[in-house]
Chains A and B, each alone.
Chain A
Amino acid sequence: MINWQQRKWQVVFLTALPTLLILVGLFLQPLHDLLPGMLRILQSQSVLLSDYLEIGGAGATLINAGLCGFICIGLMMLYKIDINGPFIAAVYTVIGFAFFGKNIWNIWPIFIGVFLYAAVRHESFRNYALIGFFATTLGPLVSFIAFGAGLEPRAGIALGMTLGIFVGFIAPPLASAMLRFHDGYNIYNIGFTGGIIGSVVVAVLRSFGLVVAPVSILTGRYDLIMKALFFSFFLLMVVGGLFVQPNRIRKTLAAHYRIMRTSGRLVTDFTLVGRYNATIFNMGLMGIIAGLFVIALGGEFNGPVIGGILTIVGFAAFGKHPRNCIPVMLGVVIGGALKIWDIGSTPVIIAGLFGTTLAPVAGQYGPFWGMLAGFLHTSVVMNVGVLHGGVNLYNNGFAGGFVAGFLVPIIEVVRPVAGPPRTRRKV
């Protein structure tokens, strides 16, 4: 039974970010340049790392991100889907990646594929919508085939959409199957799934002579505006989460303490653990921490970095909190400092942000193992992107799957968790 009064406020909360992005986007770019900017985004290859801020301009990018968010929210309304932690994470992830790879065109073939899968199983799309939202990680596959493979445009678009529908169709069973590889310790499970699908598809494409390779299109031109925009929004979330019911501040803080005590392993829905106020507070807090992390490393708020921050904020409703994220981020920083990469470069910074896909390792086994996971993640993530050529946007989720699948069984052996005290049978 839906509580409509409660749902109204949940919808207001979920639509706040996409509404803000569209409104700000309308003012950031001359109106006459918005449509051409949007067309440049839609016609880009979109493989990693394609910063839409550089390709289409700030206004078009923000509007693309806002519209992608509204498409997901619209589907949720259409299918009467609950607004809970996993779906908040999914919507924020789609919005975040709409800064560098997802757009209002290339996400649809994936949705259609998932819809067809549900139809074949005689079930509602509602039951697979979550996988559908996350599976848009393979949107660049659609865009690359359409505009980057050198095919005649109409043939490219048709082939790209067909391939998108195909990967959408196979994503649901694969996503569930891949969970067993890491036992839920890699929060971006679809990133791992998308990496496997992308690697197989790209290997086939390469065997026909197509060259699929990552690119690096980045800009720091909108750094200050984006910092001001997103820090303000995160601050509003912190204040809103705490003070929307002033008489419940202590209860909200107590609920946040309960959130902080969870490991974050899949499936940990913070809207169930701590209710909405504490969840929104946690989301804002994690946004500020992620933003400060970027600034501390000397990074800029470009498309991929904003995507990383928004994904953390979204997953702060579904598994991430300061206690389980900070150790992983520190591990990535230590790895970045000791290894061959520039610690202030975008790839290392986004490894630190998206590396928090391994937060449950820290949440379950403690900060040392979380740091080790982050340390390993830096190396793995820099090496797996070549497999799928950048068509899987959640490359860190792909890497995180390997790290968790490798590390967790070892941890279980060398550091058996004390677990709850075992009570003997009464004699």
Chain B
Amino acid sequence: MQNYHEMKKISRIIDELLTHFLLRYQSRAQIVVEETDTEHMVVFTMDDIEIEAEDYVKLVNDLNVARNPELENYYWPLAGESDSDSELTLVAMMSDSIDVTYEDNRLELRLMRKKSGK
């Protein structure tokens, strides 16, 4: 069951990222998920998009939150749920590290999430 929840949480993170960016930008999005013994890595890229400076700062701020198991265990089902609101902070609370890069109109997010107990 724990493994099932772990997979569902990864799916929710992807759902939230896709919903957030597809609502804002009409472009090609790519998602790669890699799994090792100890962690999951989600790499989200979107090409040919123009992000306003203010929006980029907000994006970085929203994602600049440490992993928080106290909140993650309770609220993770909300990720990717709303039609009109986003939960990027919740995505950050479910990730151990997030690297954001935006160069040449290409946005790349690299999320690393350690498996429970690893």
Contact = CB atoms under 8 A, between A and B. Distances in A.
Contacts of B68: 82, 84
Given A81-B70, A176-B77, A423 B82 contact: no
Interface string B77-95: 1100111110101100100
B11 interface: no
Interface residues of A, number: 41
A87 B68 CA distance: 12
B23 interface: yes
A263 interface: yes
Contact of A423 (B49, B76, B85, B89): B49
Interface stretch (A37-45, A120-128, A238-246): A120-128
Interface string A72-113: 000000000110101100000000000000000000000000
A422 interface: yes
B26 A424 contact: yes
A121 B4 CA distance: 13
Given A177-B77, A364-B85, A425-B49, A267 B23 contact: no
A128 B77 CA distance: 15
A419 B90 contact: no
Contacts of A129: 70
A86 B74 CA distance: 11
Nearest to A419: B23
Interface residues of B, number: 34
A265 B82 contact: yes
Nearest to B62: A272
Given A126-B69, A265-B82, A417-B84, A423 B26 contact: yes
B77 A419 contact: no
B118 interface: no
B15 interface: no
B38 interface: no
Contacts of A426: 48-50, 105
A211 B62 CA distance: 50
Interface in A128-160: 128-131
Scoring B71, B74, B75 by chain A CB atoms within 10 A of each residue's CB, the highest score goes to B74
B65 A272 contact: yes
10 contacts: A84-B68, A86-B70, A176-B73, A179-B81, A180-B77, A183-B78, A265-B85, A267-B90, A269-B89, A412-B84
Given A86-B70, A172-B73, A179-B78, 15 more contacts: A84-B68, A84-B71, A176-B74, A176-B75, A176-B76, A179-B77, A184-B82, A267-B78, A272-B89, A419-B24, A421-B24, A422-B24, A424-B27, A425-B28, A426-B48
Interface of B: 2, 23-28, 48-51, 65, 68-71, 73-78, 81-85, 87, 89-90, 93, 105, 116-117
Interface of A: 81-82, 84, 86-87, 121-123, 126-131, 172, 175-177, 179-180, 183-184, 263, 265-269, 272, 364, 412, 416-417, 419-426
